[in-house]
Structure formats: structure tokens, C-alpha cells
Amino acid sequence: MEENRVPQVTLGYRVMAWVVAVFVGSVAGIGLGLLTQDFWTGLVAGVSAIGLIGFSITLAARREGHGTIEATPPWTGDAGARHDGGSV
């Protein structure tokens, strides 16, 4: 069985989610670093914010993806999009 590619919509969404997470985390880290006048506090806060925001957006997207064609295993074909057993 050949390897299936990640759909471009999903891949684009994940990339954009991490770009937003890096931007927001960087701003939060710089702000906290300037507020406390401590470089390490700003660095830790920024990295923590990037991780928390990025993973939460990714997990939320996975949870919202259930029941869609992108969330189905590749071997289910068109029938994978419906979980109630109805006709296509």
C-alpha cells in the first residue's frame, strides 16, 4: 500500500496554526521579558506559550476533524465519511 499524503488544506492549516503560535508566543515572551527585566523569564514564557498555543490549536483541529473525509482512514474510501451507516 502506498503512503497517502496529508491533504493540503490540513497541512496548510497546521502550518498557519504554528505560525500564529510562534508570533503570539514571541510577543508574550518579549512582553514578559521587558516587564520583568529578566531575559530567561521572557524566554521560558515565550517557549511555553508557543508550545501551549500550537498544540492546543492542533488538537482542536483534530477533534473538529472527526466525521469528515480528512479524518477517515485511507482504506475506508467514500464510505469513511459517514459514521451512521447510511448510503452515499
Q: Which residues of the chain have pLDDT under 50?
A: 80-81
Residue 9 lies in a domain: no
Who contacts 54 (Cβ-Cβ below 8 Å, separation ≥6)?
Answer: 17, 18, 21, 22, 25
Tell me whether residue 31 is in a domain.
yes
Is 6 contained in some domain?
Answer: no
For residue 42, is it within any domain? Answer: yes
Q: What is the pLDDT of residue 16?
A: 86
Q: Is residue 45 part of a domain?
A: yes
pLDDT at site 13: 79
- State the residue range of the domain holding 50: 22-65
pLDDT at 77: 55
25 — alpha (psi -120 to 50), left (phi > 0) or beta? alpha
Count of domains observed in the chain: 1
